[in-house]
Each structure stands twice: as C-alpha cells, then as structure tokens.
A and B are shown apart, each in its own frame.
Chain A
C-alpha cells in the first residue's frame, strides 16, 4: 500500500495535476475572501457567515476534488491500459485500492491547507478562525473519506471512466441538491431527516451551527453520524469488497 500511495502521490503532485487543481481552488477562495473582505456593508453576523461560506466552499470543493481523483483511480487505469500490469504483480488488490485512496485524499488535505489562511483572515477578528478551521478539518475529513471511498467503489465497478466520473458527479450533485431547498422545506421532521441522513448536508449543517450559530462543538455531534457512518461503511466496501471486482473489463456499472 505504501509503495502504491507513494507513486500515486508523485504522479498526482509532481506530474503537475495536483498543483493545477490547487491553483484553481485557491483562485476560487481568493475571490470569495476578497469580496467578503472589501464589502463594508457586511455586518458582524455576516462576518461569521463569510467564514462559514469560505469553509463550506473549502469542504465541498476539497471533497469534490478527492472524489474525482478516486473516480478515475481504477477505471482510468483500465482505459489507459495500465491496469493489467498492476494486476500482474503479487500485490494484493486491496493494497492497490488503499494506496490510491490515500493519494486521492491528499487533494482534500491540500485543499484544507490552502483554506487555512483564508479562513483565518476572515475569522480571526471575530474570534471564529481557530474553531472554524478545526471543525472544518474534522467534519470535512469524514465527508472527504466517505466521498473518496464512494468514488473508488464506483471506479472499480464501472465499465468505463466516463461512466465512473458521470455516476460520481451525479451522486455528488444529488447530495448537494437539498442545500438549495427553501428554508421551509428543510424544517419539520421529514426535512431534518433528509438533511441528517445525507452526509453532505449533515456536514455542512454541523459546520454552520458551530461557526455561525456559535453552538458548542459537542452540542450537535449527532449531525456527524451520517458522514461518520458513510466514511466507515464506504471505506470498508472499497477496501474489503471492491477488490474482488477489479477485472480487466469492469462492468458491474454500465
């Protein structure tokens, strides 16, 4: 696993793709931060909301980047014709998946590292920066692990890379969709259940409660149940079950 992870990290970051993605991500955060900072009309509460916005963008985009890399992990090797030579080695398939999973997660780690100065800048004078960064790291990491493992499972089963990326993106968009529901629809037991069961909305809601509403971080821990379960279950699927389905052709999906 370590050998695979090391090579995958080299291919991702030293071949240049990782830094390009990081650059694009930083441009996005720069735009948000600059607009928030120079808007004198923003009141005190909206400063915390600016911190929350930057953090949620970091979590969402960081997890998205990790998901996309994972979605390419096995199906991409298959399409590029490089999978067979990997399967011919005595390395366990679970090690192959684990190594690629770790490399994909490095994009999440990179995204959070880039987000730290932005969040600190927006939040340090309203006393929100330190807690926001910590909460974003903990909650966001659970979500990133869940999504990355999901992408890996899809990549293993997909017949083609196009299918793998399409399915992964579609599911991610579907998970983000409830955040756009009107406030009224998000209330009530059904609305709250939907938000809690969905690891994306649950994570973002938890972050908002701590950063904006200034709840103690222990008060709303139940919101992290679905991202935690997602991380555990999907990682187990990716590492323990999916390896049996790594074939030259793929095809359970598509």
Chain B
C-alpha cells in the first residue's frame, strides 16, 4: 500500500472542507480524484502532502505515518493547482534547485534535471527563462519538478487546466508513463472525465468534502448506465 487515508477530516474556520475520507492506493495505480468545485479535492491533496495538518484522522504515504511530515515530503511529488514558477530562472535551473532541496549533490542534481527535462519534452528549451514558457510547457515543467525526488506517490492537481486539446493529450501521455515506467502511484485531480476514463484505474469521487464513490471506472459507472459523466452528476447533484 503506497497511500492510505483513514477518516481524514480537515476543518478550518467552521468550514469542514474534507470529512471522514478513507481510501487506499497501491503502486502503479492511477487514481482519478473527482468532484465538483469546492468538493475538497485540493484540500485533500494538501493534507496528504503535509501542506495542511489534518484536523482528525490519519494517513500514511509509502508506509510513513502522517506524524513524520518531512519524511513524507521526501516520498511524494506534487504538481499543485495553479503553481507559480520563478520567472527569472531557467527551466533546468529550477529543476536543479529543487533536486538540491531534496538533498541531491550538485552533480546528481544536474543529471536528474537534464534527464527530467528530456522526459517531459523540454530539453530544447531547458536553458530559456521560465518567463518565456507557454502554459503547457510550465505544466510539463511542474510535472518534472514533481518527479525530481523519484516519488512513490505523485499528486497532480488539475494538470491540464488551461491547456488546449493537444496540450492535454501531451500531459496525459506523460501521466500514463509515470505509472507504467516508474511504478508510482498517481493521484490525478481533474474535471476532465474523458481523461479519467482513459488513464485512471480507479476513481474517488468527493462531494462537499465527503467520499461518495470509490472503485474502478466500471464499478462506479455500473449504476449510471455506463457513462462516468452520468454517474458523476448523479452522485454530486444528489449531495
């Protein structure tokens, strides 16, 4: 089990953003984390990646309990929603820096950064300032950053946000490669149900902070006549 969450709750200022969330994931799985806006997807990711402390409940990443957040951060990679990038740095400089922040030596960080830039298709632009990157390139750079520490679990929060269809396709291919080639668990938060059907082995649906579905795409869509979009709408509208 690379990811386990038990009765995870996050509340702040009287608002319960995530309530009693429990699910598990194994290596190589691609989990689609779905839900309408405000369902608690980003909050759940931030709790699982130790950015936010849970109000109650527990979780573990690669067997590391949530009480050891620095160790968990060594084992997760995250592409945050609407991530910003230091405009004056080049792409490869950015990756080298983050590799160093994960404790890699200078030479190792350099080679890790170069390899990742190739993997995400940015090798030709690695020496350019990030200020010159398109949105799609920034998303790919963000995915590369999420992989700099060879994580056991990768969280991608809306990785295709703002991308054109070609860009979305590119990202999805990268994501498929993550699970296949790196045996990482991928938690993919997205609104694009077509993507989920294409790449995800399981879906977890949240509505108003609560888990309303957890299973394979086939299991979840069984009750709704075979379309994930119908199942999604019926589960979230009713809530």
Contact = CB atoms under 8 A, between A and B. Distances in A.
B102 A87 contact: no
A85 B103 CA distance: 15
Interface stretch (B33-41, B79-87, B112-120, B219-227): B79-87
Nearest to A248: B51
A182 interface: no
A81 B71 CA distance: 24
Contacts of B88: 11, 15
Interface string B87-108: 0110001000110111100000
Interface residues of A, number: 19
A91 B70 CA distance: 8
A72 to B, nearest CB: 13
Interface string A62-83: 0000000000000000001110
B102 A84 contact: no
A90 B84 contact: no
A117 to B, nearest CB: 30
B73 A81 contact: no
A92 B101 CA distance: 10
Contact of A85 (B74, B76, B93, B98): B98
A84 B52 CA distance: 11
Nearest to B49: A88
B100 to A, nearest CB: 5
Interface string A7-27: 100110001000000000000
Contact of A88 (B78, B84, B97, B103): B78
B83 A81 contact: yes
Given A82-B85, A82-B86, A88-B73, 5 more contacts: A7-B97, A11-B88, A85-B145, A90-B71, A90-B73
B70 A11 contact: no
Interface string A110-143: 0000000000000000000000000000000000
- Most chain A CB within 10 A, of B74, B76, B101, is at B101
A186 B71 CA distance: 56
B84 A80 contact: yes
Given A11-B88, A81-B84, A85-B145, A3 B97 contact: yes
Contacts of A43: none
A156 B58 CA distance: 28
Contacts of A87: 51
A8 to B, nearest CB: 10
A88 B98 CA distance: 10
B102 A90 contact: yes
A10 B100 CA distance: 15
A81 B49 contact: no
28 contacts: A3-B97, A4-B101, A7-B97, A7-B100, A11-B89, A15-B88, A80-B86, A81-B83, A81-B84, A82-B83, A82-B86, A84-B51, A84-B83, A85-B78, A85-B80, A85-B98, A85-B145, A88-B51, A88-B73, A88-B76, A88-B78, A89-B101, A90-B71, A90-B101, A90-B102, A90-B103, A92-B70, A248-B51
B102 A11 contact: no
A84 B70 CA distance: 14
